[in-house]
Structure 1
Amino acid sequence: MKIRPEILDHWPEVRERLPADFDLEATARLRGAFTRVREIKNAETLLRLALAYGGLGMSLRETCAWAEVGGIARLSDPSLLERLCKAAPWLGDIVAALIAEQAKAPAGRFAGYRLRVLDGTSICHPGADRTTWRLHVGYDLATAQVDQLELTDIHGGENLQRLTYAPGDIVLADRYYARPRDLRPVIDAGADFIVRTGWNSLRLLQTNGEPFDLFAALAAQQEQEGEVQVRVHEGMTGTPPPLVLRLIVRRKDPQQAQAEQERLLKDARKRGKKPDPRSLEAAKYILLLTSLPTATFAPADILTLYRFRWQIELAFKRFKSLAGLDSLPAKKPELARAWLYARLIVAIIAEQIAGQVPDSPPSGCGYPTG
């Protein structure tokens, strides 16, 4: 589904979708987005202009022309640019309020737990050959809704601390989130995690602190699925209690293993290098690190839960298509941030109106690649 221009022709309906307790005028003045009445008469008008520019992809000139024809406001391109740059933090507050409103929906539970997925997606400004912005998204699998969102620049790395956790949460994340100092805070918040890991993502020890030989453990595994207790070397000063977790191992089917090995070989050829033999061996397995208790969750349950992570990949595709985040036109950081937030506001509201949620995995979908 694409965002339609008509969404702004029905402003009262769009306005109703904003949280009832979010005071546009007061918050805009507090954030410095709206300080005095000149070309723009109130905060609501400022929001309509922002949504026309960012949400619908109009240029600054087109937005000014649209506003004048519609009797909404009369201002020049430079004036609109200045106002939008100042409005970026306020637009971010509106995004946060919309997300918070969605999060009020009763959370779905799996054996008393709430399943959430954390992932990030990259956004580039025009002409950029690498990431300029990064959108970090928390996704509730039961409600099929984004329940937390954060926009950062290129320096905002992916880590588990991008989410706020509550007791009973289970967060699912790919191998980019397997970082030693990010795991313990999740447990301290009363939550649990299932994080995919690679053979060299973490320094793993035996529970007694002795070195752990991962490849010996993989070779010794007789069944397709198994587990072993490991201790994570966190590199922390002081004497916190050892972080002992479960390493869940699943041997891939021969076809899956071969496909991953071929991908590694192809990538190595592009870089003019030879792949590490350990990477080729590890490609035969799925490795998951979890804090969930053995008594409640068998290895097969952990592997089943992790399969649900595909849903956020579909959500990203749908959300990025709906919001058109890949078409960022602005290079100026303040204007780019305003454009992105406006785009997200329209995408969230449009998705609420459409009521689109994924209800089944794509054909043949197994474990996510991340």
Structure 2
Amino acid sequence: MLSGACLQLCVQSANDSDARFAYHAQHTILPNDLCIRDLGFFSVAALAEIDARGTYSITRLRSDMKVYIKENGQWKEWDWESLGNQLEEGESVEMEHVYIGHERLYIPRLIFRRLTAEEWQKRMAYVRKKEKRKGKALARQTLEQKKYHILLTNLPQESFDGQQVYELYSLRWQIELLLKAWKSVFDLEKVKEMKKERFECHLYGTLIAILVTQTFLFQARMYWHQKEDIQISERKALDLLQSYWHQLLLRSHMAEINLFSLLSLLRKHAKKGRRKGEETASDILTKLEIW
């Protein structure tokens, strides 16, 4: 997120596990990196490997994963429901030195927060939509746990308090926005019937186009942010750049392309809109003194 680099790109079968992929992609992680992942990539083995590499992580707790506390040499299962009933809306507590799963993986910090009524309604609207699509209702315990936001992290408390950890985790949403933009702008999911070989050319060509435009877009965003403190919308910018990507790929000399004209177009037509009271990813990075 800070460098604009693509760490890894591979094409797999649609039914391959995200969690297994996360474990096999550990070689891209360097000491002092921060990995922010969604539940699809949740894996006790991957978390253990991240910690062993001297790397930091933030992840949500999977609803079926049990949490344990060690008291006087005895294991005690954490009763999150009792604790949750004591919290007011928007209130959070932090627990240190917990263990998760059958493996009893040590987690330095667990941050437990009760959602506000507005946040709960938004989450439930998403849950109901997902239930309808899959034709399967969630278990009572899973629904109950969705009243809360439970994060696991090994970030040191002296560097980031609980609220700052939540703000860092919110940056993960940029991945969803990016994928949505890729699907919309580059029509990733729209493929006509064709031979396998032609499809492979189409797929890899589209992925190359995405990487080229994404690399240029990152540099453009950094340029305007540093020069005029202007934030560029990735979605708006991709819409603009999509019509230029073939030039970036086919021209043999970058000097032939008027890059400044592209930069000016982005400044004029791709500024990020601001909703009242909402922080952008750049705002969060700046506030936390990361960017």
Correspondence 1:203 to 2:66: yes
CA contact (8 A) 1:204 1:231 kept: yes
Offset of 1:172 from its aligned partner?
Answer: 0.6
Larger relative CO (CA 8 A, sep 6+): 1 or 2? 1
Aligned: 1:225 with 2:85: no
Partner amino acid, structure 2, of 1:227: E
AA aligned opposite 2:17? G
Alpha-carbon distance, 1:228 to partner = 1.5
Which residue is 1:253 aligned to? 116
Structure 1 residues 193-342: aligned runs within 5 Å: 193-200=57-64, 202-208=65-71, 209-221=75-87, 224-229=91-96, 230-235=98-103, 242-265=105-128, 267-268=130-131, 275-329=138-192, 335-342=198-205
Of Structure 1 and Structure 2, which has the larger fraction of its residues in helix?
2
Asked if the contact 2:94/2:110 (under 8 Å) is kept, the reply is yes
1:168 maps to which residue? 32
User: d(CA) in 1 for partners of 2:129 and 2:174?
Assistant: 28
**Matches of 2:206 and 2:10, distance apart in 1:** 14
Which whole-Å deviations, capped at 9, do the CAs of 1:274-323 have from their partners, x for residues lacking one? 54332332222111111212232211111110111122222223333444
- The 3 A distance-change label for structure 1 pair 352 and 182 is closer
Query: What is the CA distance between 1:271 and its match in structure 2?
Result: 6.3
2:37 counterpart of 1:177: no
Q: Relative to structure 1, is the Cα distance of residues 277 and 148 closer, same or farther in structure 2, using a 3 angstrom cutoff?
A: same
CA separation of 1:367/1:181 partners in 2, compared to 1, >3 Å: closer, same or farther? farther
**Pairwise mapping of residues 1-370 of structure 1 onto structure 2 (< 5 A)?**
141-159=1-19, 160-161=22-23, 162-163=25-26, 164-200=28-64, 202-208=65-71, 209-221=75-87, 224-229=91-96, 230-235=98-103, 242-265=105-128, 267-268=130-131, 275-329=138-192, 335-353=198-216, 355=219, 357=221, 358=232, 363=275
> Is this contact kept in 1: 2:67–2:77, CA < 8 A?
yes
Q: Distance in 2 between matches of 1:326 and 1:267?
A: 19
2:91 counterpart letter in structure 1: Q
Residues 234-272 of structure 1: CA deviation (Å, up to 9, x unaligned): 54xxxxx85233221222121111232344345556766
217-226 vs 278-287, which moves further: 217-226
Residue 344 and residue 195 in structure 1: after superposition, are their counterparts in 2 closer, same or farther (change >3 A)?
Answer: same
Q: Which amino acid aligns with 2:114?
A: R
Distance in 2 (alpha carbons) for counterparts of 1:320 and 1:314? 10
Indicate if the aligned counterparts of 2:107 and 2:153 stay in contact, CA closer than 8 A: no
Given residue 231 of structure 1, which amino acid in structure 2 is its aligned partner?
Answer: Y
Structure 2: distance between partners of 1:226 and 1:219: 12
Partners of 2:131 and 2:138 within 8 A in 1: yes
Question: Which secondary structure does the structure 1 equivalent of 2:159 belong to?
Answer: coil
Give the whole-Å Cα distance in 2 for the aligned partners of 1:311 and 1:145. 15
3-state SS, counterpart of residue 76 of structure 2: coil
Q: Which range is displaced more, 213-222 or 357-366?
A: 357-366
If the length of structure 1 is used for normalisation, what is the TM-score?
0.52
Aligned residue identity for 2:177: L
Sort the Cα spacing of 1:362 and 1:309 in 2 relative to 1 into closer, same or farther, 3 A: farther
User: CA deviation digits over 1:114-164, x for unaligned, max 9?
Assistant: xxxxxxxxxxxxxxxxxxxxxxxxxxx223443332221123211232342
| Pairwise CA RMSD | 3.2
Q: Which amino acid is the alignment partner of residue 47 of structure 2?
A: L
> How many residues matched?
222
Q: Take 1:281 and 1:215, find their aligned partners in 2: how far apart are those partners?
A: 8
**CA spacing shift, 1:191–1:273, aligned 2, 3 Å:** closer
Instruction: Give yes or no for contact 2:4–2:215 (8 Å, CA) kept in 1.
Output: no
Amino acid in structure 2 at the alignment position of 1:318: A
Structure number with greater Rg is: 1
Q: Is the 1:232–1:245 Cα contact (8 Å) retained in structure 2?
A: no
CA distance in 2, matches of 1:150, 1:282: 34
